[in-house]
Amino acid sequence: MAACCISSILLIVACSKNFLEKKPLGPTSSITLATKAGVNGLLIGAYSMLDGWGGPDMGSGPYAQAVSNWVFGGVVSDDAHKGSTDNDQSAIARMENFTADPTNSYLSGKWGALYTGAQRANDVIRELAMVQDGSMAPEEMTEVKAEAVFLRAFFLFQAAKIWKNVPYVDETITYSNSNYNVPNTTPIWPDLEKDFQFAADSLPSTQSDAGRANSWASKAFLAKVYMFEHKYQEASALLNDLIHNGVTASGQKYALLPNYTDNYNPADKNNAESVFAVQMTVQDGSGAQNGNPGDILNFPSGGPTTCCGFYQPSFSLANAFKTDQVTGLPLLDTWNDVDLKNDQGISSSDPFTPYSGTVDPRLDWTVGRRGIPFLDFGIMPGKSWIRAQAQGGPYIFKKDVLPSSQEDAYGDIAFGWGPNQATAANYVVIRFADVLLLAAEADVELGSLAEAEKYVNQVRARAANAQYWVHTYKDPNDPTKGFTNTPAANYKINQYPTGYFEQQGQQTAREAVRFERKLELAMEGHRFFDLQRWDNGTGYMANVMNAYIQHETSVPGLESNILKGAKFTQGKNEIYPIPQRQIDLSVTNGSPTLKQNPQY
């Protein structure tokens, strides 16, 4: 596997609370690195790859490499459209309509970033074995190795979700050993289990730095690996341990935050809901490269920012937030029958009255829509707002955007485009709500429907707290004057009645849990991989995606050609093609070691 050849020699620095902000300066010798400071410097370098930025340039910029998986997990699902104009970042368009081939630059970019990260983690383990100067106690060496093993498993887990058939590379794979062309014909799930288990057994429950992996984060990832393998019993045991006993790296007991939107607030990051997060910083001298570098396209054009209008919520996603006007429950069967009232094709100067039916309050923390306050910027859309409605629809992604009141403290100018696009908001890879819903999913498959209902209701109870809904402005002409206590829309959400899951049966409970993940984790990069996990060869994902394509292409006024004629092919599009560049580089004795995925 060619990416394994990349060597990472990094700045030697001592650990501190800002350890993830350090930048590599240049090469140094392996002998110099075989010290406590040297090994910790290499470990910092491995952590620095978590945001996807810093590996080889594969021709896709940082966007393909984003840890949020906004392309791989969001655009290429029913969560979102690419946005912008059809020909802007055309490699994403070909992924969105399932015509991407193995030469797609986004595939190469993602592969390069993930395997660079894995190689950096392996560099730590190799160098650690050479430390003989007495600078590290045995327990220190075990902990550093466990962090490196965790990071290696993290990167390879992302690769396995995207391509399924990928090489597993550990510290024994090196250029000098001439064994770097590793085949991808053996499933790596058992290797990931082993790595995350080692990390869980070897890491402490708390860390001096909030961004470091702890034992509980390792257990969370191990549980997620089990879920992808459909090992529900093993996953359930771990998830329940996390729910009842788990703590963050800072020692806070895992819990849902009272305010849903605080999960995206940089002033409240590394909180009790953050199981494992990739640390983002700004105004640190890096030129905004440590502030969500892969997501800087995903902001409104005009209005709160100046670029670039990518990652627009789909009509289908907005529709999912409609609720039953009597019960306040999701419309599990009819949610997409009629579109939520929107301003598609309506000029910003024309009158418009928002949808008057009931909606889940999480809609307006996820989706910017006409007539609703957009954070503290004003009623959307303001006069200067630009939306490419014909290409991506009328909606704007909201979770990434900083309030104007936070721009000075937590924002930075990214590539000279706008003040609100590089932010200090962490990307939370696993948050506690995810853990609760995974536990509910496992319980449904194990027949424990009452337990599943309890976990889903915990998530819904948080969303039902009216104190933290979006409210109207005190003065619509001056948002800086704050908010009233009046909800901005007709919000109605309730928990499932006690015994509902058992009364309705396993299939309804299963769909309720899956729908809750769609709502709670919308546009956080999970959706494609959730559908993939639920499919398991049944055709479920193809059915969902082809129904989505049919719906989105039938919306009047959506002129985009990206999805027109698109088709999700069962047995093919559940995973992505292996980059052709990697296959070509893997040739040994005239034949490639890497095998292409089916039908590509």
- The answer, yes or no, to whether residue 418 has pLDDT greater than 80, is no
Predicted local confidence at residue 53, as pLDDT: 87
Report pLDDT digits (tens) over 39-86. Answer: 999 999 999 999 998 877 666 778 999 999 999 999 999 999 999 888
Residues near 95 by Cβ (< 8 Å), separated by ≥ 6? 71, 72, 75, 76, 104, 106, 576
What pLDDT is attached to residue 500? Answer: 98
How much is the mean pLDDT over the chain?
91
Nearest to 393 by CA among 474, 313, 462, 319: 313
Q: Distance of CA 393 to CAs 296, 309, 318, 362, Å? A: 20, 11, 11, 19
**pTM above the 0.85 mark?**
yes
Residues 516-522, mean pLDDT to the nearest whole number: 98
* Cα separation values, 13 from 33, 150, 151, 212, 276, Å: 11, 21, 19, 16, 23
For the cut 50, the answer to whether the pLDDT of residue 340 exceeds it is yes
* Mean pLDDT to the nearest integer, 478-485: 95
Residues 6+ apart with CB under 8 A from 120: 8, 10, 42, 45, 46, 49, 151
Say what percent of the chain tops pLDDT 70: 93
Q: Is the peptide bond before 381 cis (omega within 30 degrees of 0)?
A: yes
Pure H helices in 67-210 = 90-96, 105-128, 138-163, 189-202
DSSP 293-346: GGGTT-S-EETT-SS--EEEEPHHHHHHTBB-TTT--B-TTTTTSSPPP--TT-
pLDDT tens digits, 132-162:
999 999 999 999 999 999 999 999 999 999 9
How many whole angstroms separate alpha carbon 266 and alpha carbon 334?
36
**pLDDT interval class at 11 (50, 70, 90):** very low
Position 570 pLDDT exceeds 60: yes
Lowest mean pLDDT among 123-127, 291-295, 316-320: 291-295
591: three-class secondary structure by DSSP: strand
- Pick from 43, 58, 36: which is nearest to 10 by CA? 43
pLDDT for residue 31: 60
Residue with tokens 């546009």: 523
Rounded average pLDDT over 16-30: 41
Task: Map out the domains of the chain as residue ranges.
Answer: 1-203
Helix crossing, 449-463 with 506-520: angle to 10°? 30
Cβ-proximal residues to 114 (8 Å cutoff; 6+ apart), any chain? 155, 156, 158, 159
Q: Which band of pLDDT confidence, cut at 50, 70 and 90, is reported for residue 286?
A: confident
Q: Mind spelling out the 3-state secondary structure of 377-408?
A: CCECCCCCEECCHHHHCCCEECCCCCCHHHHH
Residue 436 pLDDT greater than 60, yes or no: yes
pLDDT of residue 16: 30
CATH class of the domain comprising 1-203? mainly alpha
pLDDT at 377 over 50: yes
**Tokens matching residue 90:** 């055309």
Dihedrals phi, psi of 168, to nearest 5 degrees: -95, 125
Residue 20: per-residue pLDDT? 33
**Does pLDDT of 345 surpass 90?**
no
- Model confidence at 342, pLDDT cuts 50, 70, 90, reads very high
3-state secondary structure 501-536: HHHHCHHHHHHHHHHHHHHHCCCCCCHHHHHHHHHC
> 582, exposed or middle or buried, with CB in 10 Å at 0-12, 13-18, 19+?
buried
pLDDT of residue 2: 42
Joined tokens for residue 222: 């191990």
**How many Å apart are CA 207 and CA 99, to the nearest integer?**
45
The span from the CA of 243 to the CA of 106, in Å, is 36
At 241-275, the pLDDT tens digits run 999 999 999 999 999 999 999 999 999 999 999 99
Per-residue pLDDT at 77: 98
The predicted structure's pLDDT at residue 330: 98
